[in-house]
Amino acid sequence: MPGRAEQQSAASDPDRAATLQLIIALGRALQALEQAVGPHLVQHGLSLTEFAVLEVLNHKGPLRLGAIRDRILLTGASTTYVVKKLEERGLMRRRTCAEDSRVVFGELTAKGRALIGEVFPVHVERLQQAMSGLSVSQKRDAIRLLRMLREHARHASGERMTEED
């Protein structure tokens, strides 16, 4: 007769397999989406990360560099590198906070607004094409499940949730 530990191990095997399959499926789905939108961005001289910075500034307005980093999941050094490249191209600028000189904001320039205004609509069309195999209801179910997954993973890791999550 199997012991309690063996029973628990056997019971967890389906969960283990499903967990690993989910990670693989998430990674492959993200890779496929990146391949769907990547060539269009490259035509405009943008990497996916550079586009993400321009997109967040376009939709949220000027943001602290740390907020940009958090929103697009970059490290501090990577944020500085990407912002510098976008600044050199005249697409965004850094601005020191008037109240606290330690705080630096990133904001779009007119050239950056024009570029994101041109690129973003086609980007959305490409994403819609790539996801056209899912109904609106299925997309909403996926959103709900992924938000649950994110919340549980952050709780499990001890990461604090923010109001914007």
**CA–CA separation, 162 and 43 (whole Å):** 35
Q: What is the CA radius of gyration of the chain?
A: 20
Task: Say what the pLDDT of residue 77 is.
Answer: 74
Positive or negative: CA dihedral 110, 111, 113, 118: positive
Q: What is the pLDDT of residue 158?
A: 84
Identify the pLDDT of residue 78. 84
Q: How far apart are CA 147 and CA 120, in angstroms?
A: 24
Write the secondary structure of 41-108 as one string of H (helix), E (strand) and C (coil): HHHCCCCHHHHHHHHHHHHHCCEEHHHHHHHHCCCHHHHHHHHHHHHHCCCEEEEECCCCCCCEEEEE
| pLDDT by position in tens, the chain (length 165) | 555 555 555 456 899 999 999 999 999 999 999 999 999 999 999 999 999 999 999 999 999 998 998 888 767 678 889 999 999 999 999 999 888 888 999 999 999 999 999 999 999 999 999 999 999 999 999 999 999 999 999 899 887 766 555
Q: Check residue 79 and give its pLDDT.
A: 83
User: Which strands sit side by side in the sheet containing 63-64, from one edge to the other?
Assistant: 63-64, 104-108, 92-96
- Rounded-to-integer distance, Cα 63 and Cα 156, Å: 29
Under DSSP, is residue 123 helix (H, G, I), strand (E, B) or coil? helix
Residue matched to tokens 């609509």: 121
Specify the pLDDT at position 116: 97
Reduced to 3 states (helix: H, G, I; strand: E, B; else coil), residue 138 is helix
pTM comes to: 0.81
Sketch the domain layout of the chain as residue ranges. 29-134
d(CA 95, CA 92): 10
pLDDT of residue 80: 85
Domain 29-134 sits in CATH 3.50.50.60: no
